[in-house]
Structure 1
Amino acid sequence: MIGRLGLGCAQLGNLYTAIDDETASATVAAAWDAGVRYFDTAPHYGLGLSERRLGAALRGRPRDSYAVSTKVGRLLVPSPSTAGERDPDGFVVPASERRVWDFSADGVMRSLTASLDRLGLHRIDLVLIHDPEDHARPALEEAYPALHALRAEGVVRAIGVGSTRTEILDRFVAETDIDVVLLAGRYTLLEQPALDSLLPACVKRGVSVFNAGVFNSGLLAVDDPHAGLPYDYEDAPDSIVTRAKAIAKVCAGHGVSLPRAALAFAAGHPAVRSLVIGSQTAEQARRNFTLAAAPPPPAEMWSELIADGLLRSDAPIPADPPDAS
């Protein structure tokens, strides 16, 4: 059911910019019309707003026709003392709740129960341990066994871990029996540290990689990258902007836009099972999924990027476009 393309739903939680419910619903509908049947969300995204909007947008569609993943590790608890303030974690929502790290078995169950309620679903297909890099012991020794048991009981279909840090993902691949790694921003056209050990290990162990954050938070999402765009959830440093501009220039010389090249590259490693693409509007979703399904850029473009030192020489060259099946 989880095809080569998925919709990342952080933007439904007002990441960076507020959108209304109608825009959120239209974004999900545009992804659906493009053939997308996998949707990734989390309590972290807008303090539950993404889950609520995703559930509302999917309501009425046959439950067995799509898959949803959400995450555990952050519990949302009421915070009346900050209710008039804005969420400090990059989402344009009131800080009426706060996030509490909790990777205990009880925390996993409480988090899933709350997510099911916000989504309005009776099951979640894939559950991911979210950003455990600073909580490795409880994530490995408490959260993972709890999810392993839920999978064995058939409560969830698949389990995994999501992070921007390849080191913690390496540990989970080596030490557990997870199904999926959600890799955020570490195998992109700008940087490829996951090539060192994570992606080869996933191929060897049969762990599916869902590649997310493939625009590095936005810098690779435009034809002409520039200062002021986000990179890894912060303002892009000048050196990174300069590198992105150089990549975009090479791509343009071969008639390829930077977003198209970014999507093709991110899907090109044999470990990558699904490309999870965030979109803020229906127009963005239509553009992103059209580009993701386009024919691959010419081999000469990748060769020039490698020759110019803009791409690692050991990165697999994309040969076939992803599809939504």
Structure 2
Amino acid sequence: MPLQQQQIGFGTAPLGNLFRDIPEEEVQATLASVWHEGIRYFDTAPLYGAGLSELRLGKFLQDKNRDDYVLSTKVGRLVSEETETKEGLFAMGRQNKLIEDYTEDGTLRSIEQSLERLQTDRLDVVYVHDISPDFHGDDWLSLFEESRNGAFKALQRLQNEGVIQAWGVGVNTTVPIELALELEETTPSLSLQATHYTLLKHERSLQRLMPLVERENSGIVVGAPYNSGVLLGGDYDDYVEAGSEVQAHVRRLEELTSKHNVSLKAAALQFSSAHPSVQAVIPGSTRPDRIREDVAAMKEEIPAAFWQELKREGLIAAEAPVPTD
């Protein structure tokens, strides 16, 4: 695994102008803070601002020793020169049209494009992006099959040849990773699972996903450990407006963190990283001071009584690994 020593990484989705138009100087200051704090794993994707995140990350990393950091990106979307009016999460990103392509040829072309934007000659990890129902509805299974016959085989070959260190599926749900791990012809070595192994939401992962990961000697990177913001007082849960039940759950977590003098950020990060199958946790931000907070949160002392009370109250699963285990 390329991430054995990378307990915390940096997710660069916000650098693609997620939710807001972020000035370039703010982006570069944030990346400088990431590097200064010793974080050396960076994850990006063509989706994030139609290549904007990759371009910004590549600009920052161009004078860094390539052996000093781990880099992952994703395949499944090609960035076209054609433009269109954007809506949704990355409406303020680049206006280049994204073309979905999970074939072998599309996968290789996507990697070539990413290498150019990132100004590097190699990738360490490549994830097959968003072959899941939250993005594609009922069409996701046909895209999974396209990936199975295209992207999966191409990436498995690249790993076998030593071109990349690891590959897997990068999604906001669990089922696509589970299906990929059950295939006979290919085996993901490291997958990115966002929003579903968090302090707020983890039951399905514990029951189904993590046992498969362990059986296949694979690994998980946890993305969006704050559930896209709601765990830290934001309005979004899994990239949509948080419902009242979720907000009530968060308020109860806040009460217990206050009772035990624990920061909710520390509880969230340390919970997600406590499972033995988790290779890294990758929060994202566009504020330099948030990076320092993340690193400090990973080191914060959390009493065993806090985790015990969360389990007694049913706020986390009884079988969930916690840092004091």
TM-score, normalisation: structure 2: 0.92
CA RMSD of aligned residues (A): 1.5
Match status 1:258 vs 2:264: yes
Aligned counterpart, 1:217: 228
Match status 1:154 vs 2:165: no
Aligned counterpart, 1:19: 22
2:196 pairs with one of 186, 193, 213: 186
Deviation at residue 33 of structure 1 after TM alignment:
1.4
Match status 1:114 vs 2:113: yes
8 Å CA contact 1:202, 1:208 repeated in 2? yes
Residue by residue, what CA displacement relative to the aligned partner does 1:70-118 show, whole Å, maximum 9, x if unpaired? Answer: 00011122334x3xx3x21312425621222110011001111111111
Q: 1:241 to 1:179 in 2, by over 3 A?
A: same
Match status 1:38 vs 2:41: yes
Match status 1:303 vs 2:308: yes
Rounded to whole Å, the distance in 1 between the matches of 2:34 and 2:298 is 12
Rounded to whole Å, the distance in 2 between the matches of 1:293 and 1:63 is 27
8 Å CA contact 1:55, 1:118 repeated in 2? yes
Residue type at the aligned position of 1:130: H
Aligned counterpart, 1:102: 101
Rounded to whole Å, the distance in 1 between the matches of 2:89 and 2:295 is 25
Rounded to whole Å, the distance in 2 between the matches of 1:59 and 1:66 is 12
Match status 1:286 vs 2:292: yes
Rounded to whole Å, the distance in 1 between the matches of 2:95 and 2:257 is 44
Deviation at residue 315 of structure 1 after TM alignment:
0.8
Deviation at residue 31 of structure 1 after TM alignment:
1.3
Rounded to whole Å, the distance in 2 between the matches of 1:210 and 1:218 is 18
Tell me the secondary structure at the aligned position of residue 291 of structure 1. Answer: helix
Residue type at the aligned position of 2:303: P
Residue type at the aligned position of 2:316: L
Whose helix fraction is larger, Structure 1's or Structure 2's? 2
Aligned counterpart, 2:251: 245
Tell me the secondary structure at the aligned position of residue 261 of structure 1. Answer: helix
Tell me the secondary structure at the aligned position of residue 179 of structure 1. Answer: coil
Q: Which runs of 5+ in 2 are unaligned?
A: 133-139
Between 152-161 and 10-19, report the one with greater CA deviation: 152-161
Q: Which runs of 5+ in 1 are unaligned?
A: 321-325
Aligned counterpart, 1:235: 241
Rounded to whole Å, the distance in 2 between the matches of 1:268 and 1:67 is 21
Q: 1:106 to 1:170 in 2, by over 3 A?
A: same
Match status 1:170 vs 2:173: no
Aligned counterpart, 2:276: 270
8 Å CA contact 2:274, 2:321 repeated in 1? yes
1:79-90 correspondence to structure 2 within 5 Å:
79-80=82-83, 82=84, 85=85, 87-90=86-89
1:128-143 correspondence to structure 2 within 5 Å:
128-133=127-132, 134=140, 135-143=143-151
8 Å CA contact 2:223, 2:281 repeated in 1? yes
Aligned counterpart, 1:323: none
Rounded to whole Å, the distance in 2 between the matches of 1:313 and 1:258 is 19
1:5 pairs with one of 5, 8, 13: 8
Residue by residue, what CA displacement relative to the aligned partner does 1:253-307 show, whole Å, maximum 9, x if unpaired? Answer: 0001111111111111111111111111111111112212323x11111121122
Rounded to whole Å, the distance in 2 between the matches of 1:312 and 1:12 is 33
Rounded to whole Å, the distance in 1 between the matches of 2:95 and 2:280 is 34
Q: Which runs of 4+ in 1 moved over 4 A?
A: none
Residue type at the aligned position of 1:214: P
- How many residues align? The count is 310
Rounded to whole Å, the distance in 2 between the matches of 1:293 and 1:72 is 33
1:205 pairs with one of 204, 211, 216: 216
Q: 1:28 to 1:95 in 2, by over 3 A?
A: closer
Rounded to whole Å, the distance in 1 between the matches of 2:279 and 2:323 is 14
Quote the sequence identity (%).
36
Deviation at residue 170 of structure 1 after TM alignment:
0.5
Rounded to whole Å, the distance in 2 between the matches of 1:280 and 1:200 is 34
Match status 1:316 vs 2:321: yes
